[in-house]
Copies of this chain bind each other. A is one copy, B any other.
């Protein structure tokens, strides 16, 4: 078990995790080899073994890794046992979808509330979660020590919301507005531009040769 890990490995761990928990119960009680996982996921076996070495105590030759233990190790490593509060700003359809997304729980996140500036929405509840006025964002986050924020507002307001969040002590921002946000050092921003993702997917193979 080696705690030094690369981003690439980190990005593959959930893949292994998903694959392992999708196995029938009967197989979870036994062992599984890196070779088998690689085969199933279309990856290189050495790569899988190396990735698993980062989180697991090691497998046994000829046998492989104890499946349930491996699931536990990966899950623990990814922090799926955590319980981190998340806020969402922008209660359009996108924001609502975030409040209703049940899959966050599987990864150790809980959306604790939504924010909007539309007075008609403020005070209502979505999926049992209260919608508050954006003006309360700062105090709310500081009181509860919220560190993760999701931005689902129109692009014109995105940077402003981002500033508000960083001011409230938020450290991780997931931005769905189609603009590239910048934040001060110490704050991690991930810009998820869906149109762009689609463009890369659909255009990649169109244009010339892409290696």
Minimal beta-carbon separation of A33 from chain B (angstroms): 20
Give the number of chain A interface residues (Cβ < 8 Å): 62
Q: How far is the CA of A199 from the CA of B187 in the complex (A)?
A: 15
When distances are taken between beta carbons in the complex, the residues of chain B under 8 Å from A5 are: 207-211
Interface status of A37 (Cβ within 8 A of chain B):
no
Q: Given A92-B97, A148-B202, A204-B188, is A178 in contact with B211 using a C-beta cutoff of 8 Å?
A: no
The stretch of A24-32, A135-143, A160-168, A189-197 in contact with B is A189-197
Residue in chain B with minimal CB distance to A191:
B15
Residues of B contacting A14 with CB < 8 Å? 193, 196, 199
Q: Mark A47-84, 1 if CB is under 8 A from B, else 0.
A: 00000000000000000000000000000011110001
A196 touches B94 (CB 8 A): no
10 example contacts (A-B, Cβ-Cβ < 8 A) are as follows A5-B209, A14-B196, A18-B179, A92-B97, A93-B100, A97-B97, A109-B198, A174-B197, A174-B201, A190-B201
